[in-house]
Structure 1
């Protein structure tokens, strides 16, 4: 089939988790024999940090503004499926254009579902509106569990389907590198994640000055008081992620408040770290135990004491168990097959709909 995706970014992973998610999913989808066109808004903050300007498994085109999308109208109309992603600039107008232009299946891929639904409830979502939701044939959700039912009943989606992030198993694998850090964290600064990072990494670093820590990611305020044993890396391109995780005895997973409240919202970093065989310590949320078994494949922590105790464990055994679980269920190949099924399901449903007399 031919798939057109209008997403936040494919070319740049700077300050967002969307690019790595799309790269893993769509490269695997293309390997299944499908044709992919990705349309990305050309914005200066990504233009200055492009780490995949020319993917060899899909066509990537940049457009300067909303009216310029008309140049791709014929291709969108001819596509078997068109996906609009969350956080796309002018996403409401882009979504309306896609629904009016496409003749095949239309889908919204929400990599930020709890944040999106909270914003929709307040009527201040910048990239999706309530009236657009029923117009998408399928709502592909980063969040599973009870949220799927809510998307259908409260917001009117014809079909809400789980489509978690995933990992490119070829790009994320254990590397034979020296262990540089006892505990790492990789993520862009977020106000609602910072208290957990303070508690589960910065406080731990203060209490364990003999151990080594690192926080990688942009946009952290200059006022943060980093302990001397916490290294800072401003930006870590995806090509260096596997080496980063492999150099970490453990890595920390921190979840945004809206996603904790919804549950069933795994971060792409969770899958990537596990695929590298790195032991993970995480905050708690409903559904996490369905992905990785607590105490055997992941450590759940509420306090600095919990993290200190985790660092004293056999982290190699935890990492091996997590890697085996993720490779058996959550690679990009698994997710691409799921996407194909979701699209095919909606194509079949459309063909079976009764024709008005």
Structure 2
């Protein structure tokens, strides 16, 4: 069995960790293709106190203390793996992991950086000529990204990456699927997202402004960091929503709103995991406009698109239950046909096997 040492934020917890669904979908599918992944995650940011899955049978999870000594210890274990992955946004000793893993990997092992927030990472590299990733890129076999399309590929290759390939978010239909409506999540429009500096203004523009325009409608806000006193009276805030409740959250409102973060909206081709989770649950999705959307869903048939809060409010006001249901069903069909983790897993499997063959050929030569 071919092995992967994967160093990321968390596989076990989605708490302040939007990449959890992405990691789970890909690693689970790769397990069925003959890959055995050991996922290394630090005990940090209270994530272990907010686990929403048990350790799975399709991966080994190693939780290590958030100390420099512990990080050095797990870095040494990379020498056992055929593929060594450093993901962005671990949050603890990222620079140490990045440089250490490149050195610890065997000569015949594939080394790659997996960026789950490419717009932010690229912005940091542009601002810092001595950024650790800029120095290490020539030593890596490839960069995989959570999204970003042609602009991200061009930027990474411009910084010296040998190859950069987007591996987009997707749907795991075994995890995200239609369920009966739950009165806890009943609303005319629901939005799920943590309060983050590069998303807050867009949430106010697209969600809170829409709520203020429709005082007679019910709006539901899930996620950490929002203060109820700052919200319109018709917005109900419920805090963190664990992944086990995402299907009910997405399937209980008339419509669900997706709002890209500033950098991802500007870059384009960056659908969040929420897009696929909502579509998988059969939700009628309203999204802010961004370049590349048509690669995933067709406007007005499989998804509704808005350019500001006024347009969100207009979409909600005009939406009937029948039209919402039709859009949700059409979106779900499209995602099931073209954007599942089975498809993404096949893509990554081919990428990694080609990279391994090339790496081994070079090491023999």
Residues 147 and 352 of structure 1, relative CA distance in 2, 3 Å threshold: farther
Instruction: Report deviation, 1:192.
Output: 2.8
1:300 to 301, 305, 310: 305
Separation in 1, partners of 2:235, 2:156: 45
Distance across 2 between alignment mates of 1:151 and 1:305: 34
Matched, 1:325 2:327: no
Where structure 2 has 5 or more consecutive residues not aligned to the other structure, the ranges are none
Q: In the TM superposition, what is the alpha-carbon distance from 1:352 to its structure 2 partner?
A: 4.4
Separation of aligned partners in 2, 1:165 and 1:227: 32
2:349 is equivalent to residue 348 of structure 1 = no
- Quote the Cα distance in structure 1 between the aligned partners of 2:64 and 2:10: 12
Instruction: State the 1:148 CA deviation.
Output: 4.1
2: CA distance between counterparts of 1:159 and 1:181? Answer: 44
Q: Which secondary structure does the structure 2 equivalent of 1:350 belong to?
A: helix
Question: Relative to 1, partners in 2 of residues 1:62 and 1:254: Cα closer, same or farther, differing over 3 Å?
Answer: same
Partners of 1:153 and 1:51 lie apart in 2 by 37
CA distance in structure 2 between the aligned counterparts of 1:237 and 1:125, rounded to whole angstroms: 38
SS of corresponding position for 2:298? coil
Task: Tell me how far 1:48 sits from its aligned partner.
Answer: 2.5
Q: How does 1:22-61 map to 2 (within 5 A)?
A: 22-61=23-62
**Alignment partner, residue 200 of structure 1:** 206
Report the counterpart of residue 160 of structure 1 in structure 2: 164
How far apart are 1:205 and its partner, in Å? 1.8
Shift of 1:71: 4.1
Query: What stretches of structure 1 move > 6 A for 4+ residues in a row?
Result: none
1:262 aligns with 2:267: yes
Aligned partner of 2:181 in structure 1 is 177
Report 1:1-357 matches (<5 A).
Answer: 1-64=2-65, 65-72=67-74, 75-88=77-90, 89-103=92-106, 104-123=109-128, 128-177=132-181, 180-221=186-227, 224=230, 226-311=231-316, 312-313=318-319, 314-353=323-362
Offset, 1:254? 0.6
Would the aligned equivalents of 1:114 and 1:143 in 2 still touch at CA under 8 Å? no
Residue 246 of structure 1: CA displacement? 0.6
Q: CA RMSD in A?
A: 2.1
Q: CA deviation at 1:11?
A: 1.9
Conservation of the 8 A alpha-carbon contact between 1:16 and 1:188: no
Contact 1:92 1:132 in 2 (8 A): no
**Which shows bigger deviation, 304-313 or 96-105?**
304-313
Contact 2:228 2:237 in 1 (8 A): no
* 1:222, distance to aligned residue in structure 2 (A): 5.8
Asked if 1 retains the 8 angstrom alpha-carbon contact of 2:219 and 2:234, the reply is yes
TM-score scaled by structure 1?
0.93
Tell me if structure 2 keeps the 8 A contact 1:151–1:160: no
CA contact (8 A) 1:255 1:267 kept: yes
Distance 1:70 1:39 in 2: 12
CA shift, 1:33, in A, is: 2.9
Q: Can you list the C-alpha shifts for 1:16-65, whole angstroms capped at 9, x where unaligned?
A: 20222211211121122321100111125213322234223211111222
Displacement of 1:286 in angstroms is 1.0
Go from structure 1 to structure 2 and tell me whether the alpha carbon gap of 1:93 and 1:169 turns closer, same or farther (over 3 Å shift). same
Specify whether residues 77 and 325 from structure 1 end up closer, same or farther in structure 2 by C-alpha distance, changes over 3 A only. Answer: same
Question: Larger helix proportion, structure 1 or 2?
Answer: 2
Measured in 1, the distance between the counterparts of 2:244 and 2:25 equals: 13
Extract unaligned runs of 5+ from structure 1.
none
1: CA distance, partners of 2:278 / 2:121: 26
